[in-house]
Amino acid sequence: MLKISTRLKKILTLVIKIASVFLLLLILAFFSFRNVFLHKAIEKVQAKLMDKYQVTLKIDNAGFEGLSGLKLNGLSLVPQGKDTILVVNDFSLSVKFWYALIGDIRVKNLSLNGGYFQLIKKGEEKNFDAFLNKKDTLQTQDNPTNENKGVQNYAETIYQLISKVLNKVPNEVEMKDFSVLGVDDDRFFNFSLNEFKLFDQRLNASMKVSSNSINQTWILSGFANPSAKTADITFSSTDTSRVMIPYIFERFNLQAGFENIRLQLNQVDLDGGELKVNGIASVKNFAVNHPKIAKEDVIINNAEFNYSYLIGSNFISLDSSSTVKLNDFTIHPFIKFENSPDTVFYFIVQTESTTAQNFINSLPKGLFNHIRGMEANGSFSYRLDFIYNENHPDEMVFESTLNKDNFQITKFGEANLSKLNTEFVHYPYENGRATRPIIVGPSNSDFTPVDQISPFLKKCVLTTEDPSFFYHRGFVTEAFRQSIVKNIRTGKFKRGASTISMQLIKNVFLTREKTMARKLEEILLVYILENNYLVSKDRMFEVYLNIIEWGPNVYGIGEASRFYFRKHPSQLTLSECLYLATIIPRPKGFMWRFNKDGSAKEYLEKTYRFLANKMLSRELILPDDTLGLTHQVSITGPAKLKIIKNDSLSNDSILQLELNTIANPEQATDVNVEDDEE
């Protein structure tokens, strides 16, 4: 045992006494002069705000209370010559004293009574623009240089961020009569907080919310334990109507609301270098309305997101144990971003085995109106795999698999797909309105059975629109894959992947409205049509050729043959068929292919030769078939009167597309390219 001499004991005792006295003097000095220090700090902040932002910070009274309390009265933040940004009547807080001694500021209690925060935009003038686009010239550890950018541990960084934020949340909070106001010219929103209380982990709050179009009272209730990183909060309205989100309707013509939202945070845990964040988010009676989504309200009665995030040193992922439940339909998503050694994105969706009727009943109201009323037996499961490596984009994985178990449609909804097997009346749409009726069947003298259409035309149309039509089940996975790669590379939606099946569904059963609902219905109806063998491929192709637009108010190959060539479809030559096939994407622009004298423009010779060579390589035609092939087709029908006497290419996007295809044949697609709006 170590023995300490009496002399050493006396020296140590003296040192401890001196240190204690010195510490006591420091504490006394701090408490004696802390108000002086506080006012000096406020003056420094005031000078910096004025110098850097031309903003005046005013505080009527400021001082400490007790060991660790701070109180401010009459605080305001006013940009020079502009509307006030912030006013706080009374503000006080206390920090956890022992944490403060080691430099870790944690708020114990916070109180705010009276005031407002407002962001005002009038024309080009904003009361907050002084705080925009201000960049510090000095780089610090918190603002790394480009060389260090991206070198971080995601798990530790996010955990530290979450911990810092939650540690700053006070144990007790009380706020009253505080408003948040936003004005954007003639649009406004106002959140007027009546009361907000967090006490003994219980949370209760109410606020009045108003904008140009709504006036409601919202309430928050539940519990929150920031130190344990757990919470369970419900957000709803005091009346029976939905909670409506303000401002976005006036700003974006988007209406969105819900009966209530519940947010649960159950776990935030860093273990073994990996961060786990688990919880549940749910919404009831969610409704959204926007012209780009659907023509009516889209309603989801119940939606629940049971999330489980897993974050490592070089990845962030939504684990496959997570579930998304829409009414009675459950999906298991897996999403992952990985940045080392390559930047890779994973998106995998898998459904549980679902009865067909449950799936149909779970579809959001307003989004699948043509499916409404459909009845089916059996069940199915679905899986989508998407993997994209930024460094190797051509190796992208895109696989879609549908597994059926005794799936059978027993009753159709509004879209009666079985009518394709019978004679029916088709109404083409023009500018959103149905035009003249067209009988698709023998009662129409212009209707042409598929076996009476020139084989050249069928092969030409398949080559330009959908070469694998007779082999795929509605979708061409490789075409989707190529489209996604190109759209990612360009950063824009440049290319679609529409098959003849999709065009058929769109033309016969849907309108031309450019909405998300229409596109989703198109995909779902194609799946049902193709994967249940409701209509033969020959019949689908026959209907397609007899209904699509071939010119202004020209529908079906029978009308097209007369309009251009005064012929029956069975008599068309290869050159004439190439002409007809290439005008399908934009048939109303056919006249731009001709010169002033009515002769075809020279670029068409390259276009026809390119397509003919492609058909030769696929053994769709023989070399002898190309003898006499010419781009100088003779327009002898009524179309001749509509040929515009103009040979300028300056405004002809159709010609430019075709010239680009000829110059870069490796970029040509075998599947129809839709307009960007699709």
Q: Is residue 568 scored above 90 in pLDDT?
A: yes
Q: What is the β-pairing status of strands 172-184 and 107-122?
A: parallel
Which is more confidently placed, 677 or 481? 481
pLDDT in tens, 575-612: 999 999 999 988 888 888 888 888 888 888 899 999 99
- 279 contacts 265 by C-beta, under 8 angstroms: yes
Q: How confident is the model at residue 10 (pLDDT cuts 50, 70, 90)?
A: low
Tokens matching residue 286: 């969610």
342 has a pLDDT exceeding 60: yes
Instruction: Quote the tokens at residue 664.
Output: 């870069």
Structure tokens at 56: 């005046």
User: Would the pLDDT of 648 be above 50?
Assistant: no
DSSP letter assigned to residue 142: T
* 450 contacts 545 by C-beta, under 8 angstroms: yes
**C-alpha dist (Å) from residue 192 to 116, 142, 177, 184, 209:** 9, 35, 7, 18, 6
Q: Give tens-digit pLDDT for 52-80.
A: 888 999 988 887 776 667 788 999 999 98
Higher-pLDDT residue of 5 and 624 is 624
CA distance linking residue 553 with residue 430, whole number of Å: 9
pLDDT score of 104? 54
Res 284 pLDDT > 70: yes
DSSP 235-291: EEESSSSPEEPSSHHHHHS-EEEESEEEEEEEEEEEETTEEEEEEEEEEEEEEEE-T
Per-residue confidence (pLDDT) for residue 574, from 0 to 100: 94
Cα separation of the two ends of the chain: 86
Q: What is the pLDDT of residue 149?
A: 45
pLDDT of residue 138: 37
Set out the domains of the chain in order of their start, with CATH numbers.
434-667 (1.10.3810.10)
Least confidently predicted of 9-23, 147-161, 328-342, 345-359: 9-23
